[in-house]
């Protein structure tokens, strides 16, 4: 398909605190003061979430998951923003936020149950302050905005230890009506929500140029709240920008749109073949901006870690991946009738009738196992 006519947008300007060579860069508005241990633990989380993601992709390829949406390339955007959340903050993810899920302290087996089709996700969204994965593109931005309006009404905003909300979505989702409606509501009600857009350059096969003629973060201006673009492959900048936006929201200063400029290194999901719609050149260009390599280079440059340390992290990640694999294979198949269990909180005539119909059908099989 022909590209739209006109001048392409200029090269992105973004907040960066760590360049692709692993060198610290100063920024007038954003700073960080991590301890040596915190730098190392950021690296740990990046490596672990990438390793778990690779294991999930392998499990899908071996027929153990129905589908998997990989986060490969987006680790820094997710770990940086995920670690910027305070315990009381609420997050609303898409289907790709495995790195944020990990930062929330949720057992990494949880999303595998969903993608294996044996449960609905499994974690307690309220207890863990992490809503269920949302496949309906952009819908969670409305959920997040409503939730944010709710906590403001409950008086949980405007104090030092107030609460804030983050809504994750993609570049493609920015074209959805839901997202634009969420922007309007968040703006006029001054809702304490941070809209965190991972611009990974694609919505399945549709490139960014099919979503917008202006940089995505500038959309916020038209809705009346600030927008900022961050280098999404820089975990330090992703952390600093998200932390600042969340703190503004919790202090009662309303929403912010963050565009984390990044790249989806793998396929959209395991059902997709990206070689059909993008060239290898751009993938290789983005490989040079790898989020893990640059933090590793920084740790080496600053003398914070050596080969032995890196080997230890790799071994730990491998062991965790093996554990998650074993746990995935051991997930019990649900009984078919359990699908009706939580459709409504109260008994419901239609659900009761449908349940009875399926039960009768299943009883028609001699071997109950065979009915599954």
Ligand X SMILES: Cc1ncc(C[n+]2csc(CCOP(=O)(O)OP(=O)(O)O)c2C)c(N)n1
Binding site for Mg ion (CB under 5 A): 170-172, 200, 203
Q: Is 219 in the site for ligand X (CB under 6 A)?
A: no
Q: Is 93 in the site for ligand X (CB under 6 A)?
A: no
- Residue 264 annotated to the active site: yes
CB of 105 to ligand X, least distance (A): 23
- Residue 282: both structure tokens together: 């751009």
- Residue 229 annotated to the active site: no
Residue 136 binding target from ligand X, Mg ion, none, CB below 5 to 8 Å by type: ligand X
- Residue 74: both structure tokens together: 């987006």
Residue 192 binding target from ligand X, Mg ion, none, CB below 5 to 8 Å by type: none
> Binders of ligand X among 161-190, rule CB under 6 A?
169-173
Please tell me which residue in 210, 277, 278, 309 is annotated as part of the active site.
277
CB of 146 to ligand X, least distance (A): 18
- Nearest Cα neighbor of 166 from 188, 151, 187, 148 is 148
- Residue 206: both structure tokens together: 């549709």
Closest to ligand X by CB, 53 vs 171, is 171
Q: Which residue is nearest to ligand X (CB)?
A: 170
Q: Is 85 in the site for ligand X (CB under 6 A)?
A: no
Closest to Mg ion by CB, 60 vs 200, is 200
CB of 81 to ligand X, least distance (A): 14
Q: Is 205 in the site for ligand X (CB under 6 A)?
A: no
Q: Is 203 in the site for ligand X (CB under 6 A)?
A: yes
Q: Is 81 in the site for ligand X (CB under 6 A)?
A: no
Q: How many residues bind ligand X (CB under 6 A)?
A: 15
Please tell me which residue in 268, 294, 296, 355 is annotated as part of the active site.
268
372 Cβ contact partners less than 8 Å away, ≥ 6 residues apart? 333, 335, 336
Closest to Mg ion by CB, 62 vs 205, is 205
Closest to ligand X by CB, 72 vs 293, is 72
User: Which one among 116, 143, 219, 268 touches ligand X, defined by CB under 6 A?
Assistant: 268
The overall longest dimension of the chain from CA atoms, in Å, is 72
CB of 174 to ligand X, least distance (A): 7
User: Which one among 30, 102, 147, 202 touches ligand X, defined by CB under 6 A?
Assistant: 202
SS3 per-residue string spanning the chain: CCCCCCCCCCCCCCECCECCCCCECCCCCCCCCCCHHHHHHHHHHHHHHHHHHHHHHHHHHCCCCCCCCCCCCCHHHHHHHHHHCCCCCEEECCCCCHHHHHHCCCCCCHHHHHHHCCCCCCCCHHHHCECCCCCCCCHHHHHHHHHHHHHHHCCCCCCCCCCCEEEEEECHHHHCHHHHHHHHHHHHCCCCEEEEEEECCEECCEEHHHCCCCCHHHHHHHHCCCEEEEECCCHHHHHHHHHHHHHHHHCCCCCEEEEEECCCCCCCCCCCCHHHCCCHHHHHHHHCCCHHHHHHHHHHHCCCCCHHHHHHHHHHHHHHHHHHHHHHHCCCCCCHHHHHCCCCCCCCHHHHHHHHHHHHHHHCCCCHHHHC
Closest to ligand X by CB, 216 vs 328, is 216
Please tell me which residue in 219, 229, 264, 296 is annotated as part of the active site.
264
- Residue 30 annotated to the active site: no
Closest to ligand X by CB, 72 vs 304, is 72
Closest to ligand X by CB, 80 vs 170, is 170
CB of 264 to Mg ion, least distance (A): 6
Which residue ranges make up the site for ligand X (CB under 6 A)? 96, 135-137, 169-173, 200, 202-204, 264, 268
Q: Which residues are catalytic?
A: 264, 268, 277
């Amino acid at each position: 398909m022909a590209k739209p006519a006109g001048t392409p947008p200029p090269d992105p300007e973004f907040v960066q605190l760590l360049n692709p060579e692993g060198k610290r860069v100063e920024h007038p508005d954003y700073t960080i003061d991590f301890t040596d241990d915190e730098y190392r633990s950021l690296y740990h989380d990046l490596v672990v979430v990438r390793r778990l993601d690779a294991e999930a992709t392998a499990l899908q390829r071996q027929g153990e998951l129905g589908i998997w949406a990989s986060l490969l390339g987006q680790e820094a955007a997710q770990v940086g923003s995920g670690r910027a959340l305070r315990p009381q903050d609420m997050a609303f993810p898409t289907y790709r936020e495995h790195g944020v899920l990990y930062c929330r302290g949720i057992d990494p087996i949880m999303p595998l149950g969903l993608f294996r089709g044996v449960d609905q996700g499994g974690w307690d969204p309220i207890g863990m302050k992490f809503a269920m994965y949302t496949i309906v593109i952009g819908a969670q931005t409305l959920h997040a905005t409503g939730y944010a309006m709710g906590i403001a009404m409950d008086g949980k905003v405007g104090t030092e230890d107030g609460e804030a909300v983050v809504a994750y979505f993609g570049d493609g989702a920015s074209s959805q009506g839901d997202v634009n409606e969420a922007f309007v509501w968040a703006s006029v009600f001054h809702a304490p929500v941070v809209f965190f857009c991972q611009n990974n350059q694609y919505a399945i096969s549709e490139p960014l140029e099919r979503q917008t003629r202006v940089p995505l973060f500038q959309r916020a201006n038209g809705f009346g709240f600030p927008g900022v673009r961050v280098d999404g492959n820089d975990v330090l900048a992703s952390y600093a920008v998200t932390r600042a936006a969340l703190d503004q929201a919790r202090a009662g200063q309303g929403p912010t749109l963050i565009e984390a400029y990044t790249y989806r290194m793998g396929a959209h999901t395991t059902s997709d073949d990206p070689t059909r719609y993008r060239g290898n050149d751009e993938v290789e260009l983005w490989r040079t901006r790898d989020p893990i390599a640059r933090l590793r280079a920084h740790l080496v440059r600053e003398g914070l870690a050596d080969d032995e340390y890196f080997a230890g992290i790799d071994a730990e990640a491998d062991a965790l991946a093996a554990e998650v694999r074993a746990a995935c294979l051991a997930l019990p198949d649900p009984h078919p009738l359990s699908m009706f269990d939580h459709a409504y909180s109260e008994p419901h005539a239609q659900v009761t009738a449908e349940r009875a119909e399926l039960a009768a059908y299943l009883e028609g099989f001699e071997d109950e196992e065979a009915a599954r």
